[in-house]
Amino acid sequence: MFPTIEDTRQLLETLSESYAVEVKRWFDPAQPEGQAKLVRTLMALRNNGGGRLVVGFDDASMKPTSEGRPKSVRAAFDQDQIQALVSRFASEPFEVLIQYADLADEAFPVICVPAGVRTPVATKSELKDAANQKTLVPIHAVFVRTLSSNNVVSTAAAQWRDWDRLAEICFDNREADIGRFIRRHLAPASIAGLSEALGGLGVAMPPVATEQALLLLDEGHNAFELAAARDNHILPQIGYFEFAAVISGRLKAGLEPDRSLLNLMTAANRRLTGRPFFSAVRTSSEPKWAPQHVNDGWETVVIDPTHAYIDFWRVQADGKLYTVRGFDEDLRGANKTLGISIPIWRVGDALVEALAIARQMVDAAAEANLHVALRWTSLAGRRLSSDGQWFVSFAGSVARDDSAVSQLTVPVDLPDSAVSQHVALGLKPLYRRFEGMEIEQQMVEAEIKKLLSQN
């Protein structure tokens, strides 16, 4: 599954490079050098577990550029021709989708690569410049998205430091296949019994980490209010979703609240939606939306009720992450409603982003945990509404309590295949507020699968 065109438009509005997003200026896909850029980048994104190549922007300023723009963008970046190029060079061909997204009344090609790689994709033939016989793409090469010493992400041939991450991505996808096989062939009661026998899905939460995550909810909200006040904004009285996470485990040596930390989190962001929770957009039409260094941490506040945007995040070098988002339903005038599936996407997206950042901040992901606290506010009198394909019996249920708080502890090396299980656990206290609703695991799995496939 690929991102929606609306998600891609939002990506262009808040553009930044990461493991899952590469930005390039205009080039000619019909020329060998242009074909080499496509082959290297698209294969690197496939080995990354999916992503998007955005063409027509300066990769330093993240602004559109007109230099080299073809007369017909659709003709130059043709779906069939680029798909044929992938099939010609990739050891395991994969589907790509070209979206033509508009920004400032101009179309830009965004080439989407799906997730799901199970074996590293290598080049099965070489590409040479016919003029001088220079090798532009070597045979047997494995291209990946990798971090430089200052935590800036780029595409390169895999080096020894890249193989661990690549193997983990492939293994996670194979693990997802095993999970689907088990769910297909075992009855729910059998799965529950197996989970209990193996010690359950969760990890025991150390009291100190529990308290830190809960305290971070209040600390983060205070920082949100201060940031809004600095920009002379009055926060509307609406519902808010808050996510606080504390990393327990050995952090990388030398982590400081400097530009390198910002580069690290920018590179880690998987951008599963057009509005990532931890979006470090440094160049924007609104400079005040760029990350700011405040009290030894990086933070961003975006308050634009006209476009239904109220977002804030804060990340610290000591392993604390916080984000809050105003309910889109309230900002768009559908006050006192809550779409049944929307909290699944919010929690899933925030959790996946926080885990990706945490993996880059710790020495050993297998030995670290992420302690999470969730909070929803302004629930009293709010009604559940059906959305999408889900029309459950609890639609129309009304909450009496005004807030819900939930906590989770998840391993930092949590594979994508296990995300839905933890999201379902974290959502239970929220849905119970609506006349005791119990969320179905099948529903959570289906929505998280759609979310993850948008990488």
Query: How is 356-405 classified by DSSP, letter by letter?
Result: HHHHHHBS-GGG-EEEEEEEE---TT-EEE-BTTB--TTTT-B--SS-EE
**147 with 226, same domain?**
no
* Contact call for residues 164 and 173 (beta carbons, < 8 A): no
In the structure, what pLDDT confidence band is assigned to residue 187 with cuts at 50, 70 and 90?
A: very low
The whole-angstrom separation of Cα 202 and Cα 205 is: 9
Q: CA angle 269-271-274, nearest 5°?
A: 140
- 130 pLDDT band, cuts 50/70/90, is confident
> Domain for residue 187, yes or no?
no
Check pLDDT > 70 for residue 286.
Answer: no
Amino acid at 346: R
Same domain, 245 and 100: no
Q: Last residue of a domain, which of 166, 196, 227? A: 166
More confident residue, 199 or 129: 129
Nearest to 112 by CA among 66, 50, 176, 194: 50
What does the alpha-carbon distance between residue 338 and residue 267 come to, in Å, rounded to a whole number? 32
**182/190 Cα distance (integer angstroms):** 10
How many Å from the N-terminal Cα to the C-terminal Cα in the chain? 9
Same domain? 158 vs 236: no
Listed in sequence order, the residues at least 6 apart from 362 whose beta carbon sits closer than 8 Å to its beta carbon are: 247, 249, 250, 251, 252, 319, 368, 412
pLDDT the model gives residue 288: 65
Residue type, 366: A
User: pLDDT at position 204, please?
Assistant: 54
Helices 342-361 and 441-452: crossing angle, nearest 10°? 60
The widest CA-to-CA distance across the chain, in whole angstroms, is: 74
| Same-domain check for residues 156 and 212 | no
142 or 340: which leads in pLDDT:
142
Domain boundary residue among 137, 166, 195?
Answer: 166
Same domain flag for 235 and 114: no
Count of domains in the chain? 2
CA 244, CA 212: separation in Å to the nearest integer?
A: 9
pLDDT band for position 352 (cuts 50, 70, 90): very high
Beta strands in 254-349 (DSSP E): 292-293, 297-304, 309-316, 320-326, 337-339
Kindly state the helix (H) or strand (E) to which residue 6 belongs, with its residue range: helix 5-13
- pLDDT for res 87: 92
pLDDT digits (tens, 9 = 90+) for 188-198: 445 555 555 55
CA-based torsion, 219, 225, 229, 230: positive or negative? positive
Check residue 386 and give its pLDDT. 76
Query: Which whole number is the average pLDDT over 257-264?
Result: 87
Residue 285: pLDDT band (50, 70, 90) is low
* Integer angstrom CA distances of residue 127 from 35, 90, 137: 9, 12, 5
Of the residues 166, 186, 215, the one at which a domain ends = 166
**For 250, left (φ over 0), alpha (ψ -120 to 50), or beta?**
beta
pLDDT higher at 330 or 401? 401
With a cut of 70, say whether residue 329 has pLDDT above it: yes
DSSP assignment string, 58-107? -TTT--B--TT--S-HHHHS-HHHHHHHHHHHBSS----EEEEEEETTEE
What is d(CA 311, CA 322) in angstroms, rounded to the nearest whole number? 11
Q: Tell me the average pLDDT of the chain.
A: 86
pLDDT at residue 10, rounded to an integer:
85
- Same structural domain, 144 and 232: no
| Residue 201 in domain | no
Type of residue numbered 26: W
> Could you tell me the pLDDT band of residue 391, with boundaries at 50, 70 and 90?
low
CA distance 165 to 156: 14
Distance in angstroms (rounded) separating the CA atoms of residues 107 and 66? 11
Percentage of the chain lying above the pLDDT 90 cut: 51
pLDDT of 366 over the 80 cut: yes
* Tokens, residue 429: 């206290």
The span from the CA of 91 to the CA of 77, in Å, is: 22
pLDDT in tens, 29-87: 999 999 999 999 999 999 998 999 999 999 888 899 999 999 999 999 999 999 999 99
Q: Two tokens at 109? A: 């090609």
Residue with tokens 């995550």: 213
Under 8 Å between Cβ of 15 and 57: yes
CB atoms within 10 A of CB 430: 23
> Both 260 and 309 in a single domain?
yes
Residue 16: closest CA among 316, 291, 200, 422: 291
Does residue 202 sit within a domain? no
How much is the average pLDDT of 289-295?
87
Residues 213 and 361 in one domain: yes
DSSP label of 296: S
Print the domain residue range for 84.
5-166
Q: Please report, for the domain that includes residue 19, its CATH number.
A: 3.30.950.30
| Pairwise CA distance, residues 227 & 299, whole Å | 9
Same-domain status, 148 and 273? no
pLDDT confidence of residue 104: 87
Please report the pLDDT score of residue 200 as a whole number: 47
Same-domain status, 229 and 152: no
HSE-CB of 313 using CA atoms within 13 angstroms: 24
Task: Say if residues 216 and 373 touch (Cβ distance below 8 Å).
Answer: yes
What is the reported pLDDT for 192?
52
284 and 432 inside one domain: yes
Measure CA 29 to chain center.
28
Q: Is residue 211 part of a domain?
A: yes
Residue 210 has pLDDT above 80, yes or no: no
Give 145's strand partners.
155
Model confidence band, residue 308 (pLDDT cutoffs 50, 70, 90): confident
Residue type, 251: L
Answer yes or no: is pLDDT of 118 > 90: no
List the one residue out of 16, 7, 8 whose CA is nearest residue 289.
16
Q: In what order do the strands lie in the sheet with 97-103?
A: 21-24, 51-55, 106-113, 97-103
Task: Check whether residue 232 and residue 319 sit in a common domain.
Answer: yes
Could you tell me the pLDDT band of residue 207, with boundaries at 50, 70 and 90?
low
Does residue 368 register a pLDDT over 70? yes
